[in-house]
Amino acid sequence: MAQFIIKRIIYGIIVIIGVSFLSFIVLSLAPGDDAVTILTHTFIGFDDQIYQQDVNTVTNLYSLDRPLVMQYGSWLGNAIKGDWGVSYVHNLPVWQMILGKIPYTLTLGITAFGIAFVISVPIGLYVATHRNGVVDHVSRIITIFFGSIPSFWLALVLILIFSVKLHWLPITGMGSVRHVILPCVTLMVGMIPSTLRITRSSMSEVMGQDYMVTAKSKGLTERQSVYRHALVNTLPPVITMAGLEVGHILGGSVIVETIFVWPGIGKLLYDSIISKDYPMMQGCIVTIAIGYIVSMLVVDIVTAAIDPRIRLGGGRN
């Protein structure tokens, strides 16, 4: 098991370095001079004249004239030491800004995920054991409906109904449960359909397996066969899905956080894209990648613990 975990961690580190390299190169290839971007967003503004003298000063100040590979090498070297560069726009350390936003994103994301999990997994298990019943049909319609709604549209509709018209809930701000409700519901609605569907299909598949028939034929009651055999075999895909959702939390709420002015990683990424703050974009992308890798690592460990085939290399690998 220890060997399995170490292998997974090494893979994770390689992926993170790969992601950071790709994002660095792609961001660097964006059109336009970085020095002009820094000048217009940090020192001057869009509407004023840019002097070549200032462009040169900024180029030297931020060492923008070095070859890309050298720039990346120096970024990576510093990043390992905890220095993720300085934001072009805010002139503050990237890591410090990201660290300040992570708790907000996690609070919103994990709350939304938790509630979505509590709602969708029991319903998914129930409809799998009651296939083609009324609840199954209704849940299918609802998941298709919710799964088709774009989150930015839902966010605006929720604001319109519950904030602008009914004055029940605030649109922006922090500090009370009321502030969390609308962004949380918006995120949650996007998470429920996928979790519910995967739970249903996974449980349905398990219920049709030969060993379930064997379990019943050896005298187990339905409850015993479900608890002893079905649940444990339903779990790996559901846990994988949950891991993906948790991994998605750090980067998946960009629009929701922006609309609700929720001060998390998503809004930070959106603002940095708008203002072409490349070091901040790079920092956010790497943070999101780390979020994915860590959650996938946890998923692998949990599923490997449940299913020995995985850690022995016989199953998913």
Partner 1 sequence: MRLNKKISKGIAIASLVTISGGFLAACGGTTGENKDTTASQGNQTTTTAASASAGDKTLRIGELWAIDNIDPVSDGTLIKEKACVTEVLCEVNDKFELQPSLATKWENKDENTWVFTLKEGVKFHDGTDMDAEAVAWSINNALEKNPTLVTSTKIAKAEATGANEVTITTETPNAELPEFMHLANMSIIGKGTYDSSGNLVKPIGTGPFKVEEFNSSTGVLTIVRNDDYHSTPASLAKVTISGMTDSNTRAMALEAGEIDFTCDLPFNELTRLDELDNVRVEKYDTARIYTCQFNCKGLFGDKKVRQATSLAMDRQTISDKVLNGAGTPAKNIFTENMAWCDTSIDGSKFDLEQAKKLMEEAGWVDSNGDGIREKDGQDFEFTAITYTERPGLPLIAEALQSQLKELGMKVNVSTMDNAAIEERKEKGEWGIYLAGMATAMAPSSIYYLNNNYSSEKTEPIGYVNEEFDKLLAEGQKAFDTETRYEVSKKIQKLAMEELPIAYICNYGVAYGFSEKVQNFKFNPTAHDYMWNTDITITD
* Range 48-107, binding partner 1 (CB under 8 A): 48-49, 51, 53-54, 57-58, 61, 87, 89-92, 97, 100-101, 103-104, 106-107
Looking at the Cβ atoms of 96 and 209, the one nearer to partner 1 is 96
Yes or no: say if 287 and 268 are a contact pair by the CB < 8 Å rule. Answer: no
Residue 121 binds partner 1, judged by CB under 8 A: yes
Which residue is associated with the tokens 């209704």?
Answer: 138
Candidates 72-80, 167-175, 208-216, 282-290: pick the segment binding partner 1 (CB under 8 A): 167-175
Q: Which is nearer to partner 1, 128 or 311 (CB)?
A: 128
Q: Which stretch binds partner 1 (CB under 8 A): 14-22, 45-53, 72-80, 190-198?
A: 45-53
Report, in Å, the least distance between residue 229 CB and partner 1.
13
- The dihedrals phi and psi of 51, each to the nearest 5 degrees, come to -95, 140
> Out of 2, 3, 29, 47, which residue is the one contacting partner 1 (CB under 8 A)?
47
User: Which lies closer to partner 1 via its Cβ, residue 2 or residue 29?
Assistant: 29
In the list 15, 36, 142, 301, the residue contacting partner 1 (rule: CB under 8 A) is: 36
- In the region spanning residues 209 to 268, those forming contacts with partner 1, defined by CB under 8 A, are 221-223, 226-227, 258-261, 263, 267
Q: Smallest distance from the beta carbon of 37 to partner 1, in angstroms?
A: 5
Give the whole-angstrom CA distance, residue 106 versus residue 249.
Answer: 7
d(CA 100, CA 96): 6
Q: Between 110 and 138, name the residue whose CB sits nearer to partner 1.
A: 110
Residue written as tokens 């893979």? Answer: 11
**Is residue 86 classed as helix, strand or coil in its secondary structure?**
strand
Q: How far is CA 83 from CA 74, 100, 179, in A?
A: 10, 15, 33
Q: What residues does 86 pair with on adjacent strands?
A: 93
Q: Specify the amino acid at residue 108.
A: L
The answer to whether the beta carbons of residues 230 and 86 sit under 8 Å apart is: no
Q: Pick the closer one to partner 1 by CB: 184 or 293.
A: 184
Instruction: Choose the binding region for partner 1 from 5-13, 16-24, 27-35, 303-311 (rule: CB under 8 A).
Output: 27-35
Rank residues 14 and 261 by Cβ distance to partner 1 and give the closer one: 261
Scan residues 281-300 and list those touching partner 1 (CB under 8 A).
Answer: none
Number of residues that bind partner 1 (CB under 8 A): 78
Q: Which of 74, 69, 101 is nearest to 85 (CA)?
A: 74
93: which strand partners? Answer: 86
SS3 assignment, position 172? coil
Element of type H or E holding 215: helix 210-217
